[in-house]
Structure 1
Amino acid sequence: MQLTLPTVLTLGRLVLVPVLVLLFYLPFEWAGPAAAVVFALGGLTDWLDGYLARRLNQSSSFGAFLDPVADKVMVAIVLVMLVQANPYIWMALPAMVIIGREIVISALREWMAEIGQRAQVAVSSLGKIKTVAQIAALLLMLYHDPIGALPTFLVGVALLYLAAVLTLYSMVVYLRAGWSAANRAEEEAASP
């Protein structure tokens, strides 16, 4: 397997995770903003690797597997760190919804691939909106410090709740599509 530039960028996003964790827990005033910068860099590489894979015609099955893994690892770890730093139910609820949904949808996609219906649970535009809200929320919450009169952490929490609602809605959409596709596959298998 040849490593392409998009795949190297995706691997770089995974390498950023321990750097992000280290920065988050440093006992310095600049630690939160520095962690936010690393998270933003991860978000930028997420956009850039997909763009370059399409633009340079360097899509690969390994890259298609690794990209969502890198995204989910980074998001889940940031959510866990934020819940640990803010151990309240109002913080744990959206984190549980987002992480739980990712596990359910990953399992659904794997199952749908097994029955030859993977395309039925492809990423939708709603999923992309959810991702933007989620990334913006986590970025603002990592930064934490107000920017002028803007209470970044509170805006981040509001966006995190928006992302959680969109997460639940998109999960229902995916599960309905999966259910329909599974029923069709069973009917086709049963017919002579």
Structure 2
Amino acid sequence: MEKLPNILSTLRMGMAPIFLFLFIQEDLLLRGISLVVFAIAAITDALDGYYARRYDVESEYGIFMDPLADKFLTFAGFVCLPFLDPTQFPWWAIGIIVFRDLGITGLRIYTKRRNITLQTRKTAKAKTALQMTYLYVALLFGFLMLFKGAVGNFVLNVFSLDIFYWGMIVVAFVTAYSGIEYLFVNRSILFNSERNATS
């Protein structure tokens, strides 16, 4: 059981590119399977956290891999969206999300390994909730758009209203703001840790 969280994190990392490859195929069955893969990967995130807390096991590998695997799965979800419609899901907005989350995740891994505790804000939790809600809805619509008839036409009509485009703008803005706020709130801790490391 002690190694199970690390196994689940590694599995989640490996499932991210599989999901991405399957989702971008314009095939109803493959895209449906990709959503199942994504759901299973998301479940492993909850499971590895549960087992790590339940058995009080934490390793250097787990500290590094767990948050990184989470982000790789999220990135895979966002990166596949422009393949649906780049006008609704612009690449520059995806870039902001990936750049912010990868940078902050790397910083958190670095500080945690040095036993430095950074302050978190409610904005970060709101950002995560907003990202995941938007992502799940967008992925579902990406699956439904392959249906013919009324369902497919409904999705195309929703896309024509630019609802997802403006939603993407909001997600990118909140993501960027939360990253800036995170750095600002922890500026004294980060500055002192860097100064101590070089002294």
When normalised by structure 1's length, the TM-score is 0.75
Aligned to 2:183: 175
Aligned-pair distance for 1:186? 7.1
Let me know the Cα RMSD of the aligned residues. Answer: 3.5
1:2-17 correspondence runs (5 A): 4-17=3-16
Cα distance in 1, alignment partners of residues 9 and 71 from structure 2? 12
Which of 111, 129, 133 matches 1:132? 129
Structure 1 unmatched runs, 5+: none
1:34-183 correspondence runs (5 A): 34-88=33-87, 90-109=89-108, 112=111, 118-120=116-118, 124-144=121-141, 145=144, 160-183=168-191
Say whether the 8 Å CA contact 1:136–1:156 is kept in structure 2.
Answer: no
Give CA-to-partner distance per residue, 1:103-131, whole Å, 9 cap, x none: 332454466569x573125x555433322
Aligned-pair distance for 1:22? 3.0
Cα distance in 2, alignment partners of residues 111 and 12 from structure 1? 22
Cα distance in 1, alignment partners of residues 97 and 136 from structure 2? 16
Q: Which amino acid aligns with 1:41?
A: I
* CA distance 1:53–1:104, change in 2 (3 Å): same
Greater shift in the superposed pair: 105-114 or 169-178: 105-114
Aligned length, in residue pairs: 187
Say whether the 8 Å CA contact 2:5–2:52 is kept in structure 1.
Answer: yes
Say whether the 8 Å CA contact 1:72–1:102 is kept in structure 2.
Answer: yes
Say whether the 8 Å CA contact 1:14–1:74 is kept in structure 2.
Answer: yes
Give CA-to-partner distance per residue, 1:150-188, whole Å, 9 cap, x none: 969777666644433331222122211332224445787
Say whether the 8 Å CA contact 1:101–1:168 is kept in structure 2.
Answer: yes
Structure 2 unmatched runs, 5+: 146-150
When normalised by structure 2's length, the TM-score is 0.72
Say whether the 8 Å CA contact 1:83–1:91 is kept in structure 2.
Answer: yes
Say whether the 8 Å CA contact 2:124–2:178 is kept in structure 1.
Answer: yes
Cα distance in 2, alignment partners of residues 181 and 3 from structure 1? 32
Say whether the 8 Å CA contact 2:71–2:102 is kept in structure 1.
Answer: no
Cα distance in 1, alignment partners of residues 100 and 179 from structure 2? 6
